[in-house]
Amino acid sequence: KHILVLPGDGIGPEVARIAVDCLKAAASAEGVSLTFDEAPFGGAGLDACGKPLPEETLDKARSADAVFLGAVGGPKWDDAPERPEKGLLALRSELGLFANLRPVKVFAGLEGLSPLKADRVAGADLLIVRELTGGLYFGEKREGRETASDLCTYSADEVARIARVAFRAASGRRGKLTSVDKANVLATSRLWRSTVNQLAPEYQDVTLDHMYVDATAMKLVTHPSAFDVILTENLFGDILSDEAAVIAGSLGLLGSASLGEGGPGLFEPIHGSAPDIAGQDKANPSGAIASAAMLLRFGLGEARAADRIEAALQAQLKSGRTTADIGGSLGCRAFGAEVCERLA
């Protein structure tokens, strides 16, 4: 199995290196054979080839079995001809990565990191399934000096394929699916709701309910443990998944998977490129390690190797030997090395 690594910008290369070390250690322990290649992307793509998604990088991504991304962006490219993030949107679209999975879970021993009171956050363990290649992000844009517009469109097929991902995920978890929309205002939300409702009878083991996006933004703060799987469209998913992420206590701990149909998936920590601490061995590689586990599970179908990484990460976090952002005193490399030892 061949993995393309896009180290990207800021702390991206540091955390990607740890993720690769963990992938190698877990793969060798489970007898899985992996090969790796690297390519420039984001700001690094702009620096190397003048484009955030160079053609060669895209070609390499297409022919890989999975793609791992560190992080993109930073003020260095504020005046670049294109934004580094454009590369990310293009990559999602080119690889047809319509399903973004963002699990949010409070790690045992780290409940204290949450901004929420302990009794509010206790038991929170949810998965956000975000549609990633439609909606306002990719609709027609008009940009004049006096007016501008963005079009939000969805087809029933686009809704159905992401909804199926969410139904299946719920069926493998606690069987509860909350579809989030703004059907009291938006036409696309009404299509969303009716399409999701039509699929429900096919998933008898899943209980479906619907919630408005504003109510969901509230409930994530007041009662996050009420959710199992949340299904929503692109822009709502962008907002709600970040809101949900901080509830777990630290952005540095969480990973994500973006999946298409058949082709390679993209796996990346949810934190940004954090240019202020780049190159200082301060970054928390936990999110990258969690993403490496998702790569094995959802990208390569190697569930045992994925379980191994997740168990090692959890044990390491529980030991208290962590990076400074979550109360420990290890650097990025030392933390990564200790997790790798546990993987052997």
Binding residues for substrate: 92, 102, 130, 214
**Site for ligand IPM, residues 206 to 265, rule: CB under 6 A:** 214, 238
203 is catalytic: no
From 4-12, 14-22, 82-90, 220-228, span contacting ligand IPM (CB under 6 A): 82-90
From 83-91, 118-126, 142-150, 277-285, span contacting ligand IPM (CB under 6 A): 83-91
176 is catalytic: no
What does the chain come to in residues?
Answer: 344
Residue reference for tokens 């409070």? 106
* Cβ(293)–Cβ(313) below 8 Å: yes
65 is catalytic: no
Q: How many residues bind a second copy (CB under 8 A)?
A: 55
From 25-33, 43-51, 210-218, 333-341, span contacting a second copy (CB under 8 A): 210-218
Strand order in the sheet with 207-212: 35-38, 2-8, 66-71, 265-269, 255-259, 99-105, 125-131, 229-232, 176-181, 207-212
- Phi/psi for 232 (5° steps) reads -155, 170
Task: Tell me which of 35, 50, 123, 185 binds a second copy, using CB under 8 A.
Answer: 185
* Cβ(12)–Cβ(275) below 8 Å: no
5 is written with which tokens?
A: 């690594």
- Phi/psi for 191 (5° steps) reads -60, -40
User: How far apart are CB 258 and ligand IPM at their closest, in Å?
Assistant: 9
Task: List CB contacts of 264: < 8 A, sequence separation 6 or more.
Answer: 4, 61, 62, 64, 65, 66, 67, 95, 299
What is the per-residue binding string for ligand IPM in 84-103, x denoting contact by CB under 6 A? Answer: -x--xx--------------
SS3 267: strand
Per CB under 6 A, 315 contacts ligand IPM: no
User: How far apart are CB 28 and a second copy at their closest, in Å?
Assistant: 37
Q: What's the rounded Cα separation, in Å, for the pair 189 and 154?
A: 9
Task: Tell me which of 188, 232, 256, 273 binds a second copy, using CB under 8 A.
Answer: 188
Q: Is 241 left (phi over 0), alpha (psi -120 to 50) or beta?
A: alpha
- Closest to ligand IPM by CB, 147 vs 184, is 184
76 is catalytic: no
User: How far apart are CB 152 and a second copy at their closest, in Å?
Assistant: 5
List the one residue out of 286, 288, 339 whose CA is nearest residue 312: 339
Q: Which residues are near a second copy by CB under 8 A?
A: 83, 85, 89, 115-117, 120, 136-137, 139, 141-157, 182, 184-188, 190-191, 213-215, 217-218, 220-222, 235-236, 238-243, 245-247, 251
Q: Which residues are near ligand IPM by CB under 6 A?
A: 85, 88-89, 184-185, 214, 238
